[in-house]
Amino acid sequence: MTAGTPIGIIGHGAIGRDLAERLLGSGYHVTVLLRAGSTSLEAVPASVGTVHTIDALIGTRPALVVEAAGQSALQTLAPALLSAGIDVVAASTGALGDPVVFDRLATAAREGGSRLVIPAGALGGLDYLAALRGTAEASVRYTSRKPPAAWRAELVAAGHDPAALSGEIVLFEGTAADAARLYPRNLNAGLTVALAAAPTPVTVRVIADPAVALNTHEIEAESDLGTASMRFANRPSPANPKTSALTAASLAAAVRRLLEPVVL
């Protein structure tokens, strides 16, 4: 990285704001894409550039762009960046559960000579899951376990009082794609696990658990190579309780990995 290397970020919410601070601190020049009239504009510091269109972001000639805005932003904005030869680091990986979206982005990257990068986000251990490819009898289970406060609306809709749960409630069990579609702001991590482990099948469970205080992600893998059990207990972002504070730190690590000469 040379000082002042331009980086783009889509979104300036809990993740985008934290990430921008981290990148500024490392000497990058940051430009944020926000919709005109967005309330997030108020919190953008003077040291960060702002643009309102994808063409204007491309015009800043970013070394790469990080999406931290939501599944629909990834789906609609990433193709133009990838086609223009700009690598995109995607936070909202859940959008890739739709095979049409996945193919559109993969085609844009192939044709533009760029890469769509899937970061670990709120998790870790993706290298282990990727290594299972081609291994017999492999299976992976991912469990998202968050405090009832993170699932207030869903619990009420299912007839539960979020403040009075005596034990865990399984809200969902099924595929990562269905989980990411049903819970677009909470279950990107399940799709990240599925992308890393593919074609190993992944079962996803979503649990509201009064016994946990943190956003907890559990990954269990079994195969001919052995077993793995990983657990990440993340503090929520102060700006958004659905989002783990780890996510912005993980995106900053992904930027370093892509732009610095020694790759971990």
Closer CB to ligand NDP, residue 92 or residue 200? 92
Q: Which does 16 bind (CB under 5 to 8 A by kind): ligand NDP, ligand OAA, none?
A: ligand NDP
**Which residues 202-231 are close enough to bind ligand OAA by CB under 6 A?**
215
Give the one residue of 234, 250, 251, 255 binding ligand OAA; rule: CB under 6 A.
234
Per-residue x/- mask for ligand OAA, residues 28 to 67, rule CB under 6 A? Answer: ----------------------------------------
The nearest distance, CB 243 to ligand OAA, in angstroms, is 4
| H or E element, residue 232 | strand 226-234
Q: How far apart are CA 202 and CA 179, in angstroms?
A: 11
Q: How far apart are CA 249 and CA 34, in angstroms?
A: 21
Closer CB to ligand NDP, residue 75 or residue 83? 75
For 223, the token pair is 């195969």
Cβ contacts of 30-35, under 8 Å, gap ≥ 24 = 30/6, 31/6, 31/7, 31/57, 31/60, 31/62, 32/8, 33/8, 33/9, 33/57, 33/69, 33/77
Positions of E strands within 147-195 = 169-174
Q: Applying CB under 6 A, which residues contact ligand NDP?
A: 10-16, 33-35, 38-40, 68-71, 73, 91-93, 121-122, 185, 188-189, 192, 239-240, 243-244, 247
In angstroms, the first-to-last Cα distance of the chain is 15
Cite the annotated binding site by residue number.
122, 188
Cite the annotated binding site for NAD(+) by residue number.
122, 188
